[in-house]
Structure 1
């Protein structure tokens, strides 16, 4: 029996791809363990799966001056030696690192223990944790084709992003019943992620009368962002968030308005949903959502619309409505392009790399 240790944490984007790989690894007979941050969010997500979880001490290296950068060095050092002890006990055939700062000392420990490492980067640009892990990786999986130009040919593997299998099994009719929508009018789903997106929420509600002329609108607006004044409006349903019903909501969508986070984009790619991508601006992020969105636009999966233009002028409702109409009218072309993408099978692609490095036929 081959053994694998998974690591990654800090945000859902560093954990859910690991969860997406579990069914494939379990079917192949891998013995699976997980190393994450003590009391981190990964512990709460991993333990219910039955996978053995081991918590280590962790710290974060910030890109700005902060006293915690000094104290966290000791926490990272402690996590490194804890990881060495765990890996010597577990003796895995391969370590898979999804990133996040908890993963870095685990990768370093794997190198010391002679355990081959496979890393995965979700975004177009590599985060600091993965850059610090890169010298110790046997293979480096990436999700956007442009990223390969920055990696050694013998290390980089274009895989796409592993996504949750259950998302692929939604039921359109159930989604329509949930929202009390009819089957004879197209559905626009709007999502800003689990926290919602204030800018998108405002724009959608400002344009709602025009949108409802063409679409039924299902709006996932984030916790605390439901507008009670709009409750009961025909053709419009709003939810703070959905969990178990999310596959059904996506199944009924004819197109989606979304942010530019890689997990959301690759879920929509796998589901072949034409998308209008409104990334966070550089003021609100390191700019990775903009690069992610531009890559998807270049590959013909959807269109990108910025919150503000190059002169700093805020997006106007007319521009938003034009972009929505453009994506919807060209939806068949986007779907055709998505069907051809090799990145749609992210979980299987990454699984094949892990099997190769572990010495197991996939």
Structure 2
């Protein structure tokens, strides 16, 4: 097992290397090598993009009849990863780069083209200055002018940087924060003042309303109260008092007729009917009015009739023993007055 690891092998004394047969191979023989794409390219067949650094199993061969300063040039064959189309490129030792041959187009050649253009301009300028001394002077003058412009621009940039360096950004930020804080405090004070003014106006209005209410109450209390005539028989009591004070019989009759019309007209209403109809009380004796004829002009019969018909506060019979109502009594009373007047 250890023999396979030895570095030196045994050659017998009669070994002659010239007797070993040589293997004859063609000069354009191809070898399979593993390489990476040297630049970005795009396949012409399917348009697939192949980025720089992608690995391929490529075939390598030596380009016949092409040398650069004794250095051979190699060609590589790869296949597209999508359509398996063949793409070839070769080495370019003159520019230390690779050159695309066919099957794809190289991408992002702007930098390379710019460098080639600069090299071409420099070469043409050197050739022109070699044969024309005036051209050399013009080129030097142009170069010196360009250098002065570059120096001026550089000086301006330095001054600008110095001005910006002298600015205190921290101080500016602090001042801005102070101004912002003052503005917020001022707005807060304004809001508080407006709120206070609104509260004061509301308080004044409330005081005014309370004063007006108290004035109205005092006026209402100072006004005299009118006597209420809720009961229909109150006016009859008033008429009786007027008769006792010596009023004429005709005026008493007119007041009685008006009271009768007022009471009859109120029968249709629920409120007036509710005041007339009361709960039935035990039957009481009703005095029979005196029908004796007295001389005209005497008030004795009228007063006695009024006293017999109009009930007092102590005795208010609504229905008599024989079932007659207060309205029938009032009607009989009015009829009796008419008969007395006719006599």
The TM-score, its normalising length taken from structure 2, stands at: 0.16
Higher helix share: 2
Which protein has the larger Cα radius of gyration, Structure 1 or Structure 2?
2
Greater relative contact order structure (CA < 8 Å, 6+ sep): 1
The TM-score, its normalising length taken from structure 1, stands at: 0.16
